[in-house]
Chain A
Amino acid sequence: MAINWFKYSAPTTFYGLAGKLIPWFAFSSAILFVVGLYIGFAVAPADYQQGEFYRIIFIHVPSSILSMFLYLVMAGYAALGLIFNTRLSAMMATAIAPTGALFAFISLWTGALWGKPMWGAWWVWDARLTSELILLFLYLGFIALHASIDDPRRADRASALLAIVGSVNVPIIYFSVQWWNTLHQGSTIKFSGTSMHVAMQQAMFITLAACWLYAIAVVLARVRSIILERERNTTWITELPEVRS
């Protein structure tokens, strides 16, 4: 059965689809968090060098990956909105920004908590840390710029430009540990293999999936409110059961 995906690029159809998907993503995320944290804390052994402190990675690594990936997704939607003038793309970019900012903050916060016992400092002006901080500021800048312009279409265009220009920071974050001599360690998991214990890998990948599903659920819930707000003068909104009740 062929699915017409373009049908779901219209707010009219996407609103209903998002409403049906949110509980599935939220429930799966909660289950995966429980399983991932159980493996991470009860099954995975302590690290021979870092002891118990390494267990911060089960939230630090997923948050860092998501903060970068969500930015690229946000910039992609912003670019689509700018080029094709599609309503839903700009709404999606606006909905992703707060969640991306929160993941960037959690990444920096948990990194600081790991840095204190391991490096002896909460913060160092290392290339990886500094570029991640810039990412947080880019998210905040996007949110502030969008909120500062009253006309939503003009706000979409202005903030889309910021998102697209700012996306250059994502490869800088990712490759910073290779390009510069940083205190932050490089990737432990590579295509060529890893020295990590299997249980540590399982816990990290499961919590990464949990964070992904959480982000999708929250972004879908937020975009539904944005659709309601922006399309409030249309007939289809006034005919929605939740509006009529």
Chain B
Amino acid sequence: MSGLDIWMRENPLAYVWLGSYAVAFFIFTIEIAMVRHKRKITLQQVRLMREAEDEARDDKFGGND
């Protein structure tokens, strides 16, 4: 029997919590962080595009005056 086998049989609840629930909730946290980051980046890109369009429009109308 390896050290891990002995440990898991002596501490089954710690094995279950750390091995499965902690890992699952860590994965959920990473996923939430990635989704939030993606939204932040996408919003920044859309805002930049909008600003660039506004500037281009201002330049165009400014040139006509």
Contact = CB atoms under 8 A, between A and B. Distances in A.
A237 interface: yes
Q: Which secondary structure dominates where chain A touches chain B?
A: helix
A10 interface: no
Interface string B35-51: 11011001101110110
A20 to B, nearest CB: 15
B19 interface: yes
Interface bracket on B:
20 to 34
Nearest to A240: B46
A110 B20 contact: yes
A98 B31 contact: yes
A99 interface: yes
A51 B12 contact: yes
B27 interface: yes
A117 B8 contact: yes
A114 B12 CA distance: 11
Nearest to A244: B50
A105 interface: yes
Nearest to B36: A221
A51 B13 CA distance: 10
A221 B34 CA distance: 11
A222 B13 contact: no
A43 B16 CA distance: 16
Given A106-B24, A106-B27, 16 more contacts: A51-B12, A63-B24, A98-B31, A102-B28, A105-B27, A113-B15, A113-B19, A218-B31, A222-B35, A224-B39, A225-B39, A229-B42, A232-B46, A238-B53, A243-B47, A243-B50
Interface of A: 37, 41, 51-53, 55-56, 59-60, 63, 98-99, 102, 105-106, 109-110, 113-114, 116-117, 214, 218, 221-222, 224-225, 228-229, 232-233, 237-238, 242-244
Interface of B: 5, 8-9, 12-13, 15-16, 19-21, 23-24, 27-28, 31-32, 35-36, 38-39, 42-43, 45-47, 49-50, 53
18 contacts: A52-B13, A55-B16, A59-B20, A102-B31, A106-B23, A109-B23, A110-B19, A110-B23, A113-B16, A114-B20, A117-B12, A117-B15, A225-B38, A225-B39, A229-B45, A232-B45, A238-B50, A244-B50
